[in-house]
Amino acid sequence: MRLILLSLNPNFLACGNTRGVAYLCTVKIIRMNEAQSFQTSQSQAYPTVDVIVPHFNGTEILLGCLSTLTKTTYPNFLITIVDNGSTDNSLDLAKAQYPMIQILHTGKNLGYAGGCNFGFERTQGKYVVFLNNDTEQEPNWLSELVTLAEQNEHIAGLQPKLLSIQARNRRERVFDYAGAAGGMMDTLGYPYCLGRILDRMEKDTGQYDQSVPIFWVSGAAMFARRSALETVGLFDEDFFAHMEEIDLCWRLWKAGYWLYSAPTSVVYHYGGATLSQTNPRKVYLNHRNNVMMLTKNADTLRLYFILSLRFLLELLSMIFYLKSQRADASKAVFDALTWNITHFFHHLKKRRTTAHLRKRRDRDIFKICRSETAVVLQAILSKTS
């Protein structure tokens, strides 16, 4: 329905044609009401989704992401690029090729967590997707996510099936490291994925093609319900990058929401495009953030047991890296452990501020997600033996 805007001629009014004016004004009001009604029905049938892409430099990966993202078949979504202080011309080129995108400038590098929060606070769709700039998507990826989310208002987050771009380029279907078929957590607090444990990725043969509850949704392509995030809070920016999505998902589970895998939605991810798995910075963030996440979220009795054990395991990690001639990685683990010790009471303060959210015990969450017992530690021991 077209919205017809009328410009009335002053001479028409001067001639005393008030009946005609009334008719024209009535037509205008009817057309506006019809247009508004149409837009409302469209919004109800296809709720708005804000796709938020944090970005810091890198022309090729950003243009690759946008080349597939703009082919998305879902009819009601907005693309927002959050510029984390880029110093190249990637955003200028992106805007020239894809003028429909919105670009928000943070003025500095806020990291993944800060960039996502910045974008979330400046958008308003019913749903939001936090999307890595080194991803590519199949055309129906977003439609599949919205369809599943609309089935139950208690679904707070969904994860697409994440496959490796590098493997796809070799004409293989292999799960991606960042989230594979859905994020899980073992009982010692180590994250793993359906389709990936440590650095061992499975081939996608349809073994995870059923939607199931998962512990965490990968930040590489995290679909979330806005109202749920407004209830439990956004990403903790102290994480900067890595595991901030697990911390957020744990809060969602504690608050009574549900998280599921969405295998009919497929996203491809270029693993290691930002930081490689062996980068000391990544080692530091993974070890630091994992302990911080546990301190903030785990049930009290379980926390004391895990922290005691994890202190020993962190020391063993340092020794392992030294024996592997990775002194830089060993130092990264030491720095991470030291940081957590000095910030322990700060973590406890955050823990108290979210205590009111808890409607589920950890035991129930792990039972729902069918989490394995010490699966990551077992994989580490078998790998080093």
Instruction: Report angle CA 289, 294, 295 to the nearest 5 degrees.
Output: 100
- The whole-number average pLDDT for the span 95-119 is 96
| pLDDT attached to residue 233 | 97
The stretch 67-86 carries a mean pLDDT of: 98
336-384 pLDDT, tens digit per residue, is 999 999 999 999 999 999 999 999 999 999 999 987 777 887 777 776 6
The pLDDT confidence band at residue 14, using thresholds 50, 70 and 90, is very low
HSE (CB half, 13 Å, CA atoms) of 179? 33
| 305 token code pair | 């047991």
Q: What is the pLDDT of residue 274?
A: 62
> Any residues with CB less than 8 A from the CB of 346 and at least 6 apart, and which?
none
Residue 211 has pLDDT above 90, yes or no: yes
271 φ, ψ (degrees, to nearest 5): -60, 135
- pLDDT tens digits for range 288-334: 999 999 999 999 988 989 999 989 999 999 998 999 999 999 999 99
Q: What number of other Cβ atoms are within 10 A of residue 28's Cβ?
A: 15
* CB 54, CB 83: distance < 8 Å: no
pLDDT band at 207 (very low <50, low <70, confident <90, very high): very high
161 compared with 324, residue with greater pLDDT: 161
Structure tokens at 19: 């009946």
Helices (H), the chain: 10-14, 18-45, 59-69, 90-97, 111-120, 141-149, 165-169, 226-232, 244-254, 280-297, 300-323, 327-342, 344-353, 362-369, 375-384
Poorest-pLDDT segment among 40-44, 155-159, 167-171, 306-310:
40-44
What pLDDT score was predicted for residue 7?
33
**All structural domains of the chain with their residue ranges:** 10-43, 47-269, 280-384
Model confidence at 57: pLDDT above 90: yes
pLDDT level of residue 29 (50, 70, 90 thresholds): very low
Number of separate helices (H) and strands (E) present in the chain? 15, 12
Q: For residue 62, with 0-12 CB atoms within 10 Å meaning exposed, 13-18 middle and 19 or more buried, which class applies?
A: buried
* Fold annotation for 47-269: Spore Coat Polysaccharide Biosynthesis Protein SpsA; Chain A (3.90.550)
Instruction: Indicate if the pLDDT at residue 32 is higher than 50.
Output: no
Please tell me the predicted confidence (pLDDT) of residue 43: 58
Where is pLDDT greater, at 302 or 26?
302
pLDDT at 208 over 50: yes
Phi, psi of 160 (to 5 degrees): -65, 165
For the cut 50, the answer to whether the pLDDT of residue 256 exceeds it is yes
Q: Is the pLDDT of residue 1 over 50?
A: no
**CA nearest to 272, candidates 282, 262, 263, 264:** 282
pLDDT at position 273, please?
58
Kindly report whether the global pTM for this prediction surpasses the value 0.75.
Answer: yes
Given a cut of 60, whether residue 266 has pLDDT beyond it is yes
